[in-house]
Structure 1
Amino acid sequence: MSILAPETAPRKNVVAHSRPEMIIAVPVRHPGRWAAAALIVLFVGLVAQSLVTNPNFRWDVVGTYFMDVLVIQGIGWTLLLTVLSMVIAVVLAILLAFMRQSENPLFRSVSWAWVWFFRGTPVYTQLVFWGLISVLYPKIALGVPFGPELLSFNTQDVVTAFVAAVLGLGLNESAYLAEIFRAGLKSVDTGQMEAAEALGMRKSKIMWRIILPQAMRIIVPPTGNETIGMLKTTSLVLAVPFTLDLTFATNGIANRNYLPIPLLIVAALWYLLITSLLMVGQYYVERHFGKGVDNFVPAPIKAAKKAPARVAGVAPATKDKDEPA
């Protein structure tokens, strides 16, 4: 029977394993945030009160002309201008981006000069120029240089106001999209193209299956912004002059009833509605090309392939004892 030392002998009424006291955490207070939130709520309330109580907005006139025939037709022409201009811009931008990355110095120079000119001059000036193209070239002729003409057209019959507006908007936008596409292509590591070439893939297939899907993550967001910007830039086609777009339609109605503010609100509401729809479409396109990369988009999980059926009379392969698991 052992005798414990007095200092090591267990004492009564003492818990062997005592727990530490709970820490009472006090949340950090942010008075500045509450003050800023109160100011924002107050400002929003004042704006809402002004919109509701100010009779000069003439919301009754806004409701009357919101679905007017001329306004709806102007929306159709605006959307058509936007779509056709962006198609021309995207096609030219892809070509210019490839030319800018070409090993041919002539292609690089032409691409650089195109971007330099169309980015360096205002879009309004370019639209005015395309509206006056028939003054500079009254006739478009095809034939042998310094020789006989084989075919000729009147410029005013070919380059109408609508065609001039589409060309002016599309060519100007192609310079901006070319830089966006070039940045997207350069964001993909060159080692991936080298690895694909080592596997024997064609350059066209490498670009379509490997480079572009990765570059689209960089290309889509600014291209969506440029599309929304193009929608609003169509309001400048009066410089051509083209007089069927949404802005001109609402201005024409305002000039007849002498109520410019309600008609400006009508145009602004329609632009906001169309822009909102374009932003929703841009979100889903970004979500598609961001699979497996962006945090909010999980990578698609494919079902594992089933193991091949065992042939009768053949034993399944087994690992060697020395083979690592």
Structure 2
Amino acid sequence: MTVIQPIFYGGSGLGDMRLKSLKPQYNSITLFKNHYIDFTVTPELDLSKAQLYEVSCDDPRVIIEHRGSNNWYIQMPNEKIPETVTTHLHFRATDGSGISVDVPLTLQAGLDYNEAREWFNSHTSPKQLTPSFEPVSNWQPFKEYSSGAEIIARAIRDNKRYMINVGDYFEETVNGTTYRWTIAEFNHYRQNEALMIPDRLMPSSVLFSRSDNTYTGSTLESVFNSFYDAMPYSLKPYVQNMYLPWTDFRGEQRTVTEHVFPPSEIEAFGTTRYSKESSSSYRQWACFTDNSRRARAGRSYWLRSTYNNESSFVPIVDGNGLPDWFNGTKNAYGMLPCFCIG
């Protein structure tokens, strides 16, 4: 009888490699005179404890533990690192075959996901949203974003609303005027949006319209459309085209689509005095709870509403934040450029 010793390539005795079973090519064999066959026996190996390769990391802070078979536990150290770094995991064969693979490993600076959520939940005071915002030393959670508008948009689209809060704001310059837009509320129009309200009116004043108090096609709408067109690239791509309610002087309601728009009478005051708007379709903006919050530097500004049973008059917010109305075809007033980000 000839005994064939098992040969394992590079079998240097590392680990524990055991023969689990042998599977013959045929379960039985019959041979005639001078007849032969090629016969294969397939060994099945138990490699559960075998060490066929070794693992290492360039960064000594990384914890690596073998969890059986080919499973590995890889942990970042429980410490704040000053900046994000990229290191590598190295998997090297121990059998002399030269087989290897390297896996890039990024160690992210700052807080982990749970710490970040906890921090944002506990810091709800208004903050300016900029890429350089640094709540904790050496941690800039928004540095990959280009602007405050993108920060808000990504927080909404990526389901990370915990990163932003009502009262957070950003500043942008449009047509030479710098505005501070503040998050007034979320999802007011049920379109997954953040409602943004500016701290000031546009510099000029305009007639509401040259013909009547219909908002679509009005001078006011045209000026707001031009305002949208003039927005910088850091803002414009994130401004939503919104579906908004509008009610004519007869009380008939329709929908208008706008990027930039003023509030309606109910949105500004919570009730109607001059228009035929219905509380079933309109709700007051959360930021306009009193006169001082509606007022803008003593200047009056147009609403997008119409006067009840009159085709020329238009409700306004006066310089003290109170309701009033004027003939929209004969009087020029200010413009509050509001919009939504989503």
TM-score bucket of the superposed structures, by smaller chain: under 0.3
Which of the two has greater helix per residue?
1
Where relative contact order (Cα < 8 A, 6+ residues apart) is larger, the structure is 1
Which of the two has greater strand per residue?
2
TM-score (norm 2): 0.22
